[in-house]
Amino acid sequence: EAQVTQNPRYLITVTGKKLTVTCSQNMNHEYMSWYRQDPGLGLRQIYYSMNVEVTDKGDVPEGYKVSRKEKRNFPLILESPSPNQTSLYFCASSLQAMGPQHFGDGTRLSIL
């Protein structure tokens, strides 16, 4: 089954403790992206990647890092999480730059 898988689905952690949210897709898509969703602010793009080793900032990249060492994986790294990064995070992938994006089920992060 074609899918985008995120882990973990839920995480409660404390300020400053490094964490990684993994994202994996099995559709051989070149394009991948991370979004965060906050009440009243809609979905905002954090980072995106157009291929292996090619990444760029989205609208809200501060406090996040990404890497794309393999085509299928696009982890989101929070080196020193802070409470303002408490949010619902989505990973997405697409085959083409303008193609439909396929989203994972989301990761709900709470930073205390």
Partner 1 sequence: DAKTTQPTSMDCAEGRAANLPCNHSTISGNEYVYWYRQIHSQGPQYIIHGLKNNETNEMASLIITEDRKSSTLILPHATLRDTAVYYCIVRVVGGTGFQKLVFGTGTRLLVSP
Shortest distance (Å) from residue 91 CB to partner 1: 8
- Please tell me whether residue 42 binds partner 1 under the rule CB under 8 A: yes
* Closest CA relative to residue 18, chosen from 76, 57, 68: 76
Is residue 87 helix, strand or coil?
Answer: strand
Which residue's CB is nearer to partner 1, number 1 or number 98? Answer: 98
Please tell me the distance from the alpha carbon of residue 15 to that of residue 81, in angstroms, as a whole number: 5
Residues forming the site for partner 1 (CB under 8 A):
4, 31, 33, 35, 37, 40, 42-45, 48, 50, 56, 58-59, 88, 90, 92, 94, 97-106, 108
